Structure 1
Amino acid sequence: MLGLCDGMKGVSLVAGIACLVALAGCRPNQVAQPTSPARSPSASPSPSPSPSPLPPQRLEAALPAPIEETGAATAAGRLYVMGGFNAAGASLASVYVFDGNTWAAGPPLPLAVDHPSAATLDDHVYVAGGHSYGRDSARLFRLDSDHWTELASMHFARGGHGLVAAQGRLYAIGGNNSRGNVGPLEAYDPGSNTWSVLTALPAARNHVSGFVANGAACVAGGRSPTTGRVDCFDPASGAWSRLPDLPLPTSGGGATSFVSGDVVMTGGQDASETRIVDQLVFYSQGGAWTGSEKMMSPRHGFELATFEGRAWACGGGSAPGLHPVATCTSVGDGPAASLNN
């Protein structure tokens, strides 16, 4: 799931040449420093350049059609946005593919679904779960060149979950179905084409945002009830742990990780589901969620995917409920940029 992000400092130069100040005199509130050695203007150090601000958010090429509650992932140098709702509330089988220049139609999904989740494993796009015209799905599909291959279904149908690729497996985390929130965690092994049921998500919820952090499969936010909680499953230990909570509780936003290991989280809806949460925050290992910008074109109902080094948010709803848009925005890796400045 997935991979859709998707800032400051200034340095002043203390200038002043003592002998020139002495000749010119000081203004009433200035203090002369007669012991400072005189330097010629040509010898004065140049002002240090101001560091570049955090990578700005950017408006990208719009999708061919307005959609929300989609899955998104990248593979083979392309960005894929799949499924979702259209403006009429119909579940979609559409697949849109961006090559860095233009959008084109890709092979349609075998099943029209909204609220699926997507992830990339071994440079293949996978789409799991979702709801198809109100019916819950447990099906898993892999994109193989120009067609989709159906693989083993999950044990639990679910939509509004996070599909996260970590350490060679896919993890289906959270979500809901007609019976309520789905607690059990499931792991897919591509070698055996099987799903295993693992330790349940400590706080079952839906409309979560999935990402990878330090090799762990994580979900942030979610609802029923709406929360800022962040839970991570470590495949090596088989245990859950928590990262710092998001600054603002949210559901239906997007999260993804960059090559640096930094994570970005943005968008979603508030607890009342009457307002879009416009937070844009970053997490670096061992730190807290930080950020001072707001999401460009705030939305809910999208997945973030990392494409060409930036986190892309394509489609989504511009207001709570069904308000799909074709907007695409992206954001760069803020923490990494700060460390490099």
Structure 2
Amino acid sequence: MARGPEAAVQVWVDGQLFQAERALLEEHCGFFRGLFRSGMREARSAEVRLGALSAAGFGTALRVLRGERPALAAPDELLQAVECAAFLQAPALARFLEHSLTSDNCALLCDAAAAFGLPDVLRSAALFIRDGAGELAAGLALPEARAYVAAQRPSSYVAVSTHTPAPGFLEDASRTLCYLDEEEDAWRTLAALPLEASTLLAGVATLGNKLYIVGGVRGPSKEVVAASFCYDPDGGTWRQFAGPHQPRYDTALAGFDGLLYAVGGEFQRTPMSSVERYDPAAGHWSFVADLPQPAAGVPCAQARGRLFACLWRPADTTAVVEYAAGADAWLPVAELRRPQSYGHCMVAHRDSLYVVRNGPSDDFLHCAIDCLNLATGQWTALPGQFVNSKGALFTAVVRADHVYTVNRMATLLYAIEAGTWRLLREKAGFPRPGSLQTFLLRLPPGAPGPLASSTPEL
């Protein structure tokens, strides 16, 4: 399609010429938005000269603004991108850098963000360092970056077992959120669940360091709990809010890009394909694009700022799809033929999605793991199998370069190294029966909670 004379602008950076869409620059860059709306002669010119940036960094910025995901491995590439994000005032490029954090580049990005004044990148890098191995902080060069990292709270591994709403006259002391005290190797009580809340077949997710519980059922008829609940660990308080427009249970709940997504689920024992999105700031739900098929208990994971769901289809096919928010569509990513009988989950690390399933056949004591590399689109099977009786991998959670899993016998930590999972250490198992939902929260400092006993007193 032909473009008008105002649609494009020539940008000279460090002696190199770039052709860029004026509307794209104005939409995503505060620098260009101010320039084009300033009324100065440069605002009407078809040519702009930027002398303060590197050509490579500006090229990276353009690619990101156009929807590409360039691989930035070299330190110079990362530093130039940080400089461009700060100078151009480009939030999309800053978010891209946040999603590019790894244990290899987190110290560099933290220092650079502190130097160039990118607060969101600085915070994300600092939190990544706090959640990673202790030596990550040793790579920091700037005193202000070291001080900022030291002031952040690490995330804690939190779990909640299956509970239905408690009668008002009988409060069950086992209806609690619990967290793993890794130093003392013990599970401790964090907070009691609201009496009306159900974690049976509920969607559970975190967003903005708050815990959300949506759906859930009560009674043998699977009556859906209409209310939803939000827990804020900083204040130790619960807030009730409205549930989705479509009552649903066994829904997957995902916190993504500042919003909650209730993906699929069941109602009246019928799987659904509908998906709803909740905006915590506005306080309302809205429907978005349906899944490609009806599905309940859909595993979801986020990698590189992208939201993925894993669907199981008859004839032993696992399909990975991605939600494209801009197009409001679920797009196919990859498929895998692998026998499976009853359960699977999915976690993400760097450019990889790990799909965990039981099998083969009805052998529920073993888990097999397949890895999808998003950059190449290739599947690989992880060597060996993981025994469910030792570590219930269907509750896997990734923190930095580690995977946490738990059941009543043990909490197991795996190190993700070169695409494989290596058993790192074993901690105390969860002290109560029932299926578990696990997640990460950053808890406020203070006295540790009481031990979570296996038979709490009423």
TM-score range, shorter chain: 0.5 to 0.7
State how far apart, in whole Å, the 1-side matches of 2:200 and 2:316 are: 21
State how far apart, in whole Å, the 2-side matches of 1:231 and 1:309 are: 33
Change (3 A) 1:102 1:149: same
Of residues 60, 67, 75, the one that matches 2:207 is 75
Partner AA of 1:136 in structure 2: P
State how far apart, in whole Å, the 1-side matches of 2:259 and 2:339 are: 28
State how far apart, in whole Å, the 2-side matches of 1:188 and 1:119 are: 12
Q: Is the 8 A contact 1:222 1:252 kept in 2?
A: no
- Answer with 152-161 or 205-214: which moved more: 205-214
State how far apart, in whole Å, the 2-side matches of 1:166 and 1:218 are: 11
Q: Is the 8 A contact 1:164 1:218 kept in 2?
A: no
Q: Is the 8 A contact 2:258 2:279 kept in 1?
A: no
State how far apart, in whole Å, the 2-side matches of 1:159 and 1:105 are: 24
Partner residue in 2 for 1:115: 250
State how far apart, in whole Å, the 1-side matches of 2:346 and 2:329 are: 21
Count of aligned positions = 250
**CA displacement at 1:144 relative to structure 2:** 0.9
State how far apart, in whole Å, the 2-side matches of 1:237 and 1:56 are: 41
**CA displacement at 1:252 relative to structure 2:** 9.0
Give ranges in structure 2 of 5+ residues lacking alignment. Answer: 1-155, 160-181, 445-458
Q: Does 1:239 align with 2:368?
A: no
Partner residue in 2 for 1:84: 216
Q: Is the 8 A contact 1:143 1:149 kept in 2?
A: yes
Q: Is the 8 A contact 1:66 1:87 kept in 2?
A: no
Instruction: Give the alignment's TM-score, normalised by structure 2.
Output: 0.49
Q: Does 1:95 align with 2:228?
A: yes
Q: Is the 8 A contact 1:253 1:303 kept in 2?
A: no
State how far apart, in whole Å, the 2-side matches of 1:66 and 1:216 are: 33
Q: Does 1:266 align with 2:406?
A: yes
Partner residue in 2 for 1:48: none
Q: Going by fraction, where is helix more abundant, 1 or 2?
A: 2
Of residues 344, 365, 372, the one that matches 1:208 is 344
**CA displacement at 1:172 relative to structure 2:** 1.3
State how far apart, in whole Å, the 2-side matches of 1:126 and 1:105 are: 17
State how far apart, in whole Å, the 2-side matches of 1:4 and 1:109 are: 27
Change (3 A) 1:70 1:209: farther
State how far apart, in whole Å, the 1-side matches of 2:216 and 2:293 are: 20
**CA displacement at 1:139 relative to structure 2:** 1.5
Q: Is the 8 A contact 1:5 1:265 kept in 2?
A: no
After the TM superposition, which residues 282-321 of structure 1 pair with which residues of structure 2 at under 5 Å, given as runs?
A: 282-286=413-417, 287-289=421-423, 290-300=425-435, 302-308=436-442
Runs of 4+ off more than 3 Å: 3-6, 52-56, 91-94, 179-182, 204-207, 221-225, 242-245, 249-253
State how far apart, in whole Å, the 1-side matches of 2:249 and 2:223 are: 8
Partner residue in 1 for 2:186: 56
CA RMSD of aligned residues (A): 3.0
Q: Is the 8 A contact 1:70 1:115 kept in 2?
A: yes
After the TM superposition, which residues 35-50 of structure 1 pair with which residues of structure 2 at under 5 Å, given as runs?
A: none
State how far apart, in whole Å, the 2-side matches of 1:76 and 1:98 are: 11
State how far apart, in whole Å, the 2-side matches of 1:4 and 1:139 are: 30
Partner residue in 1 for 2:355: 219
Change (3 A) 1:166 1:294: same
Of residues 385, 398, 415, the one that matches 1:257 is 398
Change (3 A) 1:120 1:242: farther
Structure with bigger RCO (C-alpha 8 Å, 6+ apart): 1
Partner residue in 1 for 2:368: 229
Give SS of 1:57's match. Answer: strand
Partner AA of 1:91 in structure 2: V
What is the CA deviation profile of residues 202-251 of structure 1, one whole-angstrom value per residue up to 9, with x for unaligned ones? Answer: 43645323322233222334476334112232222212233453332687
State how far apart, in whole Å, the 1-side matches of 2:192 and 2:339 are: 34
Q: Is the 8 A contact 1:118 1:125 kept in 2?
A: yes
**CA displacement at 1:110 relative to structure 2:** 1.7
Partner AA of 1:194 in structure 2: A
Q: Is the 8 A contact 1:4 1:304 kept in 2?
A: yes
Instruction: Give the alignment's TM-score, normalised by structure 1.
Output: 0.64
Q: Matched residues, percent identical?
A: 20
